[in-house]
Structure 1
Amino acid sequence: MWDRPFYHQDTRALQDRYDGRRTADALERHRKHYAFWEDERAMIEAARFFFIGSASGEYTDCNIKSGDPGFVKITGPGELEYPEYDGNSMYRTAGNIAANPNVGLLFVRFDGTSRRIRINGRASLHDDPRTLARHFGAKFVVRVACEIYPNCPRYLPDFEHDRPSLHPPRPGAGTPPPPEWKGRDYIRDTLPADDPHREDP
């Protein structure tokens, strides 16, 4: 289990400025977890790509990692691995990880199924024979201990069917429909006071 708070003082300041602390706390209590849910395992193990952010001091980097389905392997209840294949020899992500293990991963499906998985992770680099044997063609392997939470996908377009999301605000379109999660028992009474979907008691 991680020993750091889910929110820091600056996220808290913005939550308070925009009356979002109640909602943020409810999401942390009900959605943050440290072992993959079954649908998350299925999505990750079938993924062809994911995005990863890393940082070292003032240097930050956002990258995409890709491969055939199965290139990301779940190796524990809240742990995954992915291979670093032959690349351009810059080692931007791996170099950051060597200096600072904190990473952010984002798995996304753009096929209309409305799914995103965000992971705050602590990453490490491995090139021992046993680990390499799990990842054909890997130069080395990145292992990530995960703090997991699903992320609202309402603004994602459906690229598979070439359809935009219904949710972005658009001139003359009225109030967009609410996402499903705003109606959940543990959320609906915590929404900010100015949320158009808030149901005041």
Structure 2
Amino acid sequence: MTERPFYREGALRMQETLRTRRLADHIAGKYVTDYLDETAAAMLRRADCFYLATADADGYPDCSYKGGLPGFVQVPHPGLLRFPSYDGNGMFRSLGNILDNPRIGMLFIDYDKPIKLRVNGTADVSTDSGLLASFPEADAVVEVRVRQVFENCPRYLHDVRVGQYSDHVPRPHHAPPDPDWKLKDEYQGLVRLRNS
């Protein structure tokens, strides 16, 4: 099977328009993996929720929130993760979409660090009793073969613990600071700094 490029035509057009191609290539080359390293796996195992993006057979997207106790996302090995489907409203939009179109995206957020981690992959839905035994009260289990793992800049995350907006969000009479990652030597010549 031919490997799909990380950036498709639309992303490349925007990178050209906004002059971020060199930055985007640097990030993709250095930080995008096709497996969950131990740091990413540990974050998933600690997670008590994530957001799941699916699309139906015609490509129409849907997004849902999935929650549980820490440990409800399992990482049996770096290329595979599992999560339960608990009793819900019976619509099964996400699971139905996976049956029709197995390509999914997942967004995990750790507000304490803060970190946003994206995991893209190919999913299967199982009602196998052996898998269900690992997830009490689950109706089904989703197994995801990992295709891409990468962090996103967390600067616009609001602090939900104390109800404070991110200092990086633009607003009148406020000069947002440069994010710490842009100050690293590896990004010299690849990013514009506001406060230089």
Q: TM-score scaled to structure 2, two decimals?
A: 0.91
CA distance in 2, matches of 1:2, 1:181: 33
CA distance in 1, matches of 2:164, 2:149: 28
CA distance in 2, matches of 1:50, 1:136: 19
Asked if 1:187 is matched to 2:187, the reply is yes
**Alpha-carbon contact 2:177-2:195 (below 8 Å) kept:** no
Listed as ranges, the matches of 1:111-190 within 5 Å are 111=112, 113-146=113-146, 147-174=148-175, 176-190=176-190
SS at match of 2:104: strand
Specify the alignment match of 2:90 in structure 1.
Answer: 89
Offset of 1:24 from its aligned partner? Answer: 0.5
CA distance in 2, matches of 1:20, 1:59: 28
**Alpha-carbon contact 2:74-2:81 (below 8 Å) kept:** yes
Q: Supply the AA of the counterpart residue of 1:74.
A: V
Listed as ranges, the matches of 1:27-46 within 5 Å are 27-46=27-46
Asked if 1:196 is matched to 2:189, the reply is no
Q: TM-score scaled to structure 1, two decimals?
A: 0.89
> Could you give the per-residue CA deviations for residues 167-189 of structure 1, whole angstroms, max 9, x where no partner exists?
11222223x21112112333222
Offset of 1:161 from its aligned partner? Answer: 2.6
Q: Supply the AA of the counterpart residue of 1:158.
A: D
Specify the alignment match of 2:101 in structure 1.
Answer: 100
Offset of 1:198 from its aligned partner? Answer: 8.9
Offset of 1:163 from its aligned partner? Answer: 2.4
**Alpha-carbon contact 2:178-2:195 (below 8 Å) kept:** no
> Could you give the per-residue CA deviations for residues 53-91 of structure 1, whole angstroms, max 9, x where no partner exists?
110114321101111111110121121100111111111
Give the total of aligned pairs. Answer: 194
Specify the alignment match of 1:70 in structure 2.
Answer: 71
- Structure 1 consecutive aligned stretches of length 4 or more whose deviation exceeds 3 Å: 196-199
Q: Supply the AA of the counterpart residue of 1:155.
A: Y
**Alpha-carbon contact 2:116-2:154 (below 8 Å) kept:** yes
CA distance in 1, matches of 2:170, 2:156: 10
**Alpha-carbon contact 2:41-2:78 (below 8 Å) kept:** no
CA distance in 1, matches of 2:2, 2:101: 16
Q: Considering only aligned residues, what root-mean-square deviation do their CA atoms show, in Å? A: 1.9
Offset of 1:34 from its aligned partner? Answer: 2.0
CA distance in 1, matches of 2:2, 2:127: 25
**Alpha-carbon contact 1:51-1:64 (below 8 Å) kept:** yes
**Alpha-carbon contact 1:188-1:198 (below 8 Å) kept:** no
SS at match of 1:3: coil
**Alpha-carbon contact 2:126-2:140 (below 8 Å) kept:** yes
CA distance in 2, matches of 1:136, 1:58: 32
CA distance in 1, matches of 2:93, 2:4: 26
Deviates more, 1:91-100 or 1:134-143: 134-143
Change over 3 Å in CA distance of 1:2–1:92 after alignment to 2 = farther
